[in-house]
Amino acid sequence: MKRRTSPSLSVFLASVLAPALVFGADVASSPWGPDDEIGRLNMITAESRKAALENLNPTSAYDLSVEYFIGMPSWQAAGDPHFQMWMTHTPKGTLVDDPLSVGDEMNAHVSYTGSAFTMYAHTGTHIDALNHFGLNGKIWNHFSAEEHLGDRGWKRAGVEKLPPIIARGVLLDIPAAKGLDELAPGYRITRDDIKYTLTVQGTDIAPGDVVLIRTGRMRQYSDGNRFMANAPGLGMEAAHFLAAEKQAMSLGADNLSFEAFPSEDSDNYVPVHTYLLAQQGVTIMELVNLEQLAEDRIYEFAFIGTPLKIRGGDAAPLRPIAIPYGSVQ
């Protein structure tokens, strides 16, 4: 896998490394100009896609998403809607209701099933757009809520602006490197954990990579309360290492809130989110199911993720896949 650092990226690196060291101050301007709404996803180019999709071994196509179901774990501390799905048409119900006025015989013959669903946008495997968290009333690239946020979402940096994400993906199986099944409750992943894991795995991170961090918390997914309680997550130094030093394009993890709580910064309850989204232009994926990749020790792969284009949204569900590299036997 060749590194894809281009001249323009070097300029970019220089421009973001400095402000990135000052956590919490204010949102950053985009190196891609005042109209930029997608941040690092600008690193996706014809060239980068070409590199990411070369030499595939699609013997497996790993499904990195979780299912949506009533009762699934979701973040409820701020009162957001749970996932719900319901039937709007059933074969039997259609016979009773005849919603299309086609009569009993037709309804008995044509068996219609329809359903609907609703969710907080941050439910299940999803990606946070750059408008999800900002600082001081503004988001990435200084777009303000005052000017750009209506009752139907943001006119700027909405999740519908995100392109299909096609990139080299890297799995960091932190617990495996540390000889654990999963990280301890509340454990905060350090910069050293990441460097150590890269060494153990024999992998490196190239600018533009999608980096997926396994905490092992997904092992508790079937028990919503255990899954949610005091999850391990990424620390600020580690986030800085990945985003600013390694120039990862997008980050993901297998837990629900990405970072660990309580926060390291007494002035900011989600400093890793605001740092990545508002200061580094780095989108965040949560509830990414990395168990099978980890079991098969697939640490590098083509990542393909296509978030639903919900206009103005601050997050969207997606069902990403990972396709390994290498020659097929």
Q: Which of residues 261-320 bind its own copies (CB under 8 A)?
A: 267-270, 274, 304, 306-315, 317-320
Q: Which of residues 122-161 bind its own copies (CB under 8 A)?
A: 122, 124, 131-139, 145-155, 160
Q: Is 108 in the site for its own copies (CB under 8 A)?
A: yes
Decide whether 15 or 65 has the Cβ nearer to its own copies: 65
Minimum CB distance to its own copies, residue 4 (Å): 13
Q: Which residue has the tokens 């954990």?
A: 193
Nearer to its own copies by Cβ, of 176 and 221: the residue is 221
**Cβ closest to its own copies, residue 64 vs residue 251:** 64
Q: Which stretch binds its own copies (CB under 8 A): 30-38, 62-70, 231-239, 241-249?
A: 62-70
What burial letters (b/e) apply to 60-78, b meaning 16+ CB within 10 Å? Answer: eebebbbebeeebbbeeee
Mapping DSSP to helix (H, G, I), strand (E, B) and coil, where does residue 95 land? helix
- Looking at the Cβ atoms of 68 and 196, the one nearer to its own copies is 68
Tell me which stretch binds its own copies (CB under 8 A): 98-106, 194-202, 251-259, 279-287. Answer: 98-106
Q: Is 327 in the site for its own copies (CB under 8 A)?
A: no
Burial 218-230 (b: 16+ CB within 10 A, else e): bebbeeeeebbee
Least distance CB 116 / its own copies (angstroms): 5
Cα torsion 13, 212, 43, 156: sign:
negative
Q: Using the rule CB under 8 A, is 326 a contact of its own copies? A: no
Q: Which of 194/315 has CB closer to its own copies?
A: 315
Token readout for 207 is 């600018």
CB-nearer residue toward its own copies: 11 or 108: 108
Size, binding site for its own copies by CB under 8 A: 108
Residue 186 CB neighbours (<10 A): 13
Residue 105, Ramachandran bin (φ over 0: left; ψ between -120 and 50: alpha; else beta): alpha
Q: In this structure, are residues 288 and 34 in contact, taking their beta carbons and an 8 Å threshold?
A: no
The whole-angstrom separation of Cα 134 and Cα 280 is 11
Separation of alpha carbons 180 and 187, rounded Å:
12
| CB of 194 or CB of 272, closer to its own copies | 272
Calpha distance 71→87 (Å, rounded): 16
Distance CA 42, CA 197 (A): 28
CB contact at 8 A, 281 and 30: yes
Pick out residues in 65-94 that bind its own copies (CB under 8 A): 65-71, 77-82, 84-94
Candidates 11, 14, 22, 116: give the one binding its own copies (CB under 8 A): 116
- In this structure, the number of other CB atoms found within 10 A of the CB of residue 26 comes to 15
Stretch that binds its own copies, among 6-14, 57-65, 192-200, 210-218 (CB under 8 A): 57-65
CB of 134 to its own copies, least distance (A): 4
Stretch that binds its own copies, among 42-50, 172-180, 192-200, 280-288 (CB under 8 A): 42-50
